[in-house]
Amino acid sequence: MTTSPHADQVRAGAAMYRPWTLSLYDMVAFKINCRFLFRVPVREVVAMFDRNVSTKHLDLGVGTGYFLDNCHAPRQAITLADLNEHSLHHAATRLARFEVDTVRANALEPLPLPGKSFDSASLNFLLHCVPGTIREKAKVLDHVAACVRPGGRLFGATVLTGGVPVGPAARVAFSAWNWRGVMHNSEDRLEDLRSELAARFPVHKLTVHGCAALFEAEVP
């Protein structure tokens, strides 16, 4: 398997997700950060899940499983893929009412999953945590798309720093988070994300809320 040159950075970023931080994650990420820093309504992200989630779904970069838990789309079989075992356990426990599988995986490397086997896949609030330029991060799109059948859905959200309105408080927070290695979005620009999506998905939609970009695509 190909090893990403950013593998150590990916592992370091994933290491922050521990049981005690995950217990606070929803409050900090969605009630504070999304509302006051990113300026993206959580309901818009939930609605994106409602539009795109299928009965056989892959979620990459699982966090706490919040959006799969709160959306209303039909879900039956869910595969959770993440490098952090604590996140996988937390999300799998939260979603235990569904048929859930878990797999440890680095988003910058080909996923250890069968190709063209899912009807939908999400990578939500993941790309801004992945090191590298948008062009380098776009490998993640390729790895996820390889697991989705033609005509299936690929979607997610990411937080940008260029080409979108970023408030003073958000700029201070991004500077600190990038320095600590929690985020890697100091060079993430809207036009670059748009270009990488267009190069891969003839049918796609990109919407901006504050400094967050929501993307939805049909896998060719």
In a domain, 90, yes or no: yes
d(CA 183, CA 162): 15
- pLDDT one-digit tens code per residue, 192-218: 999 999 999 999 999 999 999 999 999
- pLDDT one-digit tens code per residue, 70-97: 999 989 999 999 999 999 999 999 999 9
For the chain, give the mean pLDDT: 92
In a domain, 115, yes or no: yes
pLDDT at residue number 166 = 98
User: For 49-56, what is the mean pLDDT?
Assistant: 98
- pLDDT one-digit tens code per residue, 94-116: 999 999 999 999 999 999 999 99
- pLDDT one-digit tens code per residue, 127-170: 999 999 999 999 999 999 999 999 999 999 999 999 999 999 99
pLDDT at residue number 169 = 97
In a domain, 51, yes or no: yes
Q: What is the DSSP string of 8-20?
A: HHHHHHHTT--HH
- pLDDT one-digit tens code per residue, 165-184: 999 999 999 999 999 999 99
153: exposed, middle or buried (C-beta count within 10 Å: 0-12, 13-18, 19+)?
buried
Instruction: Give 20's contacts (C-beta < 8 A, 6+ positions apart).
Output: none
User: Does 12 score more than 70 pLDDT?
Assistant: no
Query: Where residue 153 sits, what CATH number does that domain have?
Result: 3.40.50.150
> Which of left, alpha, beta for 53 (phi over 0: left; psi -120 to 50: alpha)?
beta
User: Does 63 score more than 50 pLDDT?
Assistant: yes
Residue of 140, 144, 160 whose CA lies nearest to 214: 160
In a domain, 1, yes or no: no
User: Does 7 score more than 60 pLDDT?
Assistant: no
In a domain, 2, yes or no: no
User: Does 19 score more than 90 pLDDT?
Assistant: no
Q: Which of 18-32, 35-49, 58-72, 148-162 comes out lowest in average pLDDT?
A: 18-32
pLDDT at residue number 14 = 45
Predicted TM-score of the model (pTM):
0.92
Range of the domain at 198: 7-218
In the chain, the number of structural domains is: 1
